[in-house]
């Protein structure tokens, strides 16, 4: 295989990437949930304008974390599977030669 013209990634490597992306998405969601719970707990005692400022700011970051986690899941579960299937098909052809 000529690397200049026939660039190709092993299906195993793509599957590893897919698993890692799913794991990162789960971790982002877990962290978001932990911070959300911690802020809610602190908010029961800390009630001044600085808390409100912080909580409002966090809501923006929380939304960004949700968006990132969602996009990672979409990529791992919708984009990568056909690419993995193509890589497996290429591998099957190469091993049958």
- Would you list the domain boundaries of the chain? 11-95
Pick the CATH number of 11-95 from 1.10.10, 1.10.3470, 1.10.150, 1.10.287: 1.10.287
User: pLDDT value at position 66?
Assistant: 96
pTM reported for the whole predicted model: 0.78
Q: What is the pLDDT of residue 6?
A: 54
For the chain, 97 residues long, the average pLDDT of each consecutive 10-residue run is 62 97 97 94 88 90 96 97 95 89
- In 66-95, which positions are buried (b, 16+ CB within 10 angstroms) versus exposed (e)? eeebeebbeebeeebeeebeebeebeeeee
> Residue 97's pLDDT is what?
79
Name the DSSP class of 75. I
């Amino acid at each position: 295989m000529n690397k200049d013209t026939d660039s190709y990634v092993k299906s195993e490597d793509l599957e590893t990437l897919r698993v890692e992306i799913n794991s990162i998405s789960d971790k982002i969601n877990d962290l978001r949930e932990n911070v959300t719970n911690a802020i809610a707990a602190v908010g029961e005692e800390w009630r001044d304008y600085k808390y409100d400022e912080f909580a409002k700011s966090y809501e923006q970051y929380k939304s960004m974390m949700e968006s990132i986690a969602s996009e990672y899941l979409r990529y791992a579960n919708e984009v990568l599977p056909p690419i993995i299937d193509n890589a497996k098909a290429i591998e099957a052809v190469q091993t049958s030669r």
